[in-house]
Structure 1
Amino acid sequence: MKNRMHFFDYEMYEKGFGTEEMRNLWSERGILQQWVDFEVYLAQAQAELGMIPQDVAYEITKKGNIDLIGIDKIADIFGTTNLNTVALIRAYKAICENGAGEFIHYGATSQDVLDSTLAFRIKKSLESYRADLEKIVSVLLPLADKYRNAVMAGITHGQHAIPVTFGFVVATWAQAFKEHIERIDQALPRICTGTVSGAAGNFASYNLLFGEKCWDMQVKVLEKFGLTVPPISVQPRNERFVEYMYLCSLIANTCEKIADDIVFNQRNEVMQLEEPFDTEHQICSSTMPQKRNPVLCENIKGLATLIRSNATAQGEIFHRDLRDDTPFFVEDVRMPETAILMDSMLKEMLTVFKGLKVHEENMRKNLDKDEGLLMAEPLALLLSIKSGKKDTAMRIVHKIAMESFEKKIPYEQYVKEMPELREYLTEQEIVDILNPSNYLGLTQKAIDNVIKG
Structure 2
Amino acid sequence: MIPRYSTPEMDAVWSDPVRFGRWLEVELLATEGHAEAGVVPAQAAAICRANAPVSDEAFVQKIHEREQITDHDVAAFVDVVQDAINDPAGSWIHYGLTSSDVGDTALCWAMRDAADLMIEAATDLLATLVRMAREHADTVMIGRTHGIHAEPTTFGAKVALWALQVDRDRARLRAARDAVAVMKLSGAVGTYSNIPPEVEAFVGDKLGLTPVPATQVVARDRHSEFLYACASIGATCELMAVELRHLQRTEVREVQEGFKPGQKGSSAMPHKRNPISAETISGLSRVLRSNLLAGLQDVALWHERDISHSSVERVILPDSSQLAYYVMRRLKRLLDGLVVMPERMQANLDASYGLVFSQPVLLSLVQSGKTRDEAYRIVQRNAMRAWDEGLDFRTLLEADDEVDNSVLDDAFDLRRSLSNLNIVFAQLDGLE
TM-score class, shorter-chain normalisation, is over 0.9
Deviation at 1:394, TM superposition (A): 2.2
Answering whether residue 424 of structure 2 is matched by residue 435 of structure 1, we say no
Partners in 1 of 2:327 and 2:89 — Cα distance? 45
Q: Distance in 2 between matches of 1:82 and 1:434?
A: 75
The CA deviation string for residues 162-209 of structure 1, in whole angstroms up to 9 with x for no partner, is 111111111001101111111222232222211111000111111xxx
- Contact kept in structure 2, 1:148 and 1:166, CA below 8 Å: yes
2:185 alignment partner, SS class: coil
Tell me how far apart the structure 2 counterparts of residues 167 and 299 of structure 1 sit (CA, whole Å). Answer: 24
The aligned residue for residue 38 of structure 1 is: 26
1:281 is aligned to 262
- Structure 1, unaligned stretches of length 5 or more? 1-5, 9-13, 207-213
Are the counterparts in 2 of residues 151 and 437 from structure 1 also a CA contact under 8 Å?
no
Mapped pair 1:310 → 2:298: no
Q: Mapping of 1:258-269 within 5 angstroms? A: 258-269=240-251
Aligned to 1:297: 278
Tell me by how many angstroms 1:322 deviates.
0.9
For the pair 1:73 / 2:62, whether they are aligned, the reply is: yes
| Bigger mean CA offset, 183-192 vs 242-251 | 183-192
Q: 1:68, 1:145 → 2: CA distance?
A: 49
Distance in 2 between residues matched to 1:309 and 1:97, nearest whole Å: 45
CA distance in 1, matches of 2:128, 2:362: 38
Tell me the residue number matched to 1:126.
Answer: 115
C-alpha separation in 1, matches of 2:399 and 2:249: 36
Q: How many residues align?
A: 429
Distance 1:44 1:258 in 2: 50
Map 1:208-227 → 2, pairs under 5 A? 214-227=196-209
Distance in 1, Cα, partners of 2:6 & 2:121: 12
Aligned letter for 1:380? L
Which is worse superposed, 46-55 or 375-384? 46-55
Aligned mate of 2:323, from 341, 350, 368: 341
Match of 2:48 in 1: 60
308-317 vs 145-154, which moves further: 308-317
**C-alpha contact (below 8 Å) 1:195/1:233 kept by paired residues:** no
- Is 1:252 the equivalent of 2:234? yes
Displacement of 1:273: 1.1
Q: C-alpha separation between the residues in 1 aligned to 2:309 and 2:375?
A: 61
Which is worse superposed, 338-347 or 361-370? 338-347
Q: Which residue of 2 aligns with 1:142?
A: 131
* 1:99-114 equivalent positions in 2, closer than 5 A: 99-114=88-103
Deviation at 1:308, TM superposition (A): 0.9
User: How far apart, CA to CA, are the structure 1 residues paired with 2:53 and 2:65?
Assistant: 19
Answer whether contact 1:307 1:338 (CA < 8 A) is retained: yes
Instruction: Give 3-state SS (helix, strand or coil) of 2:30's partner.
Output: helix
Pairwise CA distance, 1:329 = 1.2
Shift of the alpha carbon at 1:59? Answer: 2.1
> Is residue 2:432 matched to residue 1:445?
no
Please say which of residues 293-302 and 333-342 is displaced more in the overlay: 333-342
1:116 counterpart letter in structure 2: T
CA positional deviation for 1:70: 1.9
Shift of 1:276: 2.0
* CA shift in 2, pair 1:408/1:237, >3 Å: same
What is the deviation of 1:248?
A: 0.7
Unaligned runs of 5+ in 2: none
Q: Is the 8 A contact 2:201 2:211 kept in 1?
A: yes
Aligned partner of residue 419 in structure 1, secondary structure: coil
User: How many Å separate the matches in 2 of 1:131 and 1:200?
Assistant: 36
User: 1:200-232 CA distances to partner (integer Å, 9 max, x unpaired)?
Assistant: 0111111xxxxxxx2221122123322222245
**Shift in Å at residue 303 of structure 1?**
1.0
Counterpart code for 1:288: M
- Cα deviation for residue 91 of structure 1 reads 0.7
Amino acid across the alignment from 2:56: D
Other structure's SS at 2:130 match: helix
Q: Could you tell me the TM-score, scaled by structure 1's length?
A: 0.90
* RMSD between aligned residues: 1.8
SS state at 2:331 partner: helix
SS of 1:152 mapped into structure 2: strand
Give identity over the alignment, percent.
Answer: 28
Q: Which residue type is aligned with residue 348 of structure 1?
A: R
| Counterpart residue identity of residue 327, structure 2 | M
- Deviation of 1:95 after TM superposition, in Å, equals 1.0
Task: Give the stretch that moved more between structures: 252-261 or 286-295.
Answer: 286-295
> Cα deviations across residues 91-114 of structure 1 (Å, max 9, x unaligned)?
110111341110001100111111
The separation in 2 between residues aligned to 1:232 and 1:88, in whole angstroms, is: 23
Residues 151 and 41 (structure 1 numbering): CA distance in 2 closer, same or farther, change over 3 Å? same
Tell me what 2:401 maps to. 419
Q: Give the secondary-structure state (helix, strand or coil) at the position aligned to 1:57.
A: helix
* Deviating more after overlay: 376-385 vs 40-49: 40-49
Query: Contact 2:104–2:218 at 8 Å: present in 1 too?
Result: no
Paired residue type of 2:425: I
**Preserved CA contact (<8 Å) 2:173 2:230:** no
How much does 1:125 deviate? 0.8
Q: Take 1:234 and 1:85, find their aligned partners in 2: how far apart are those partners? A: 15
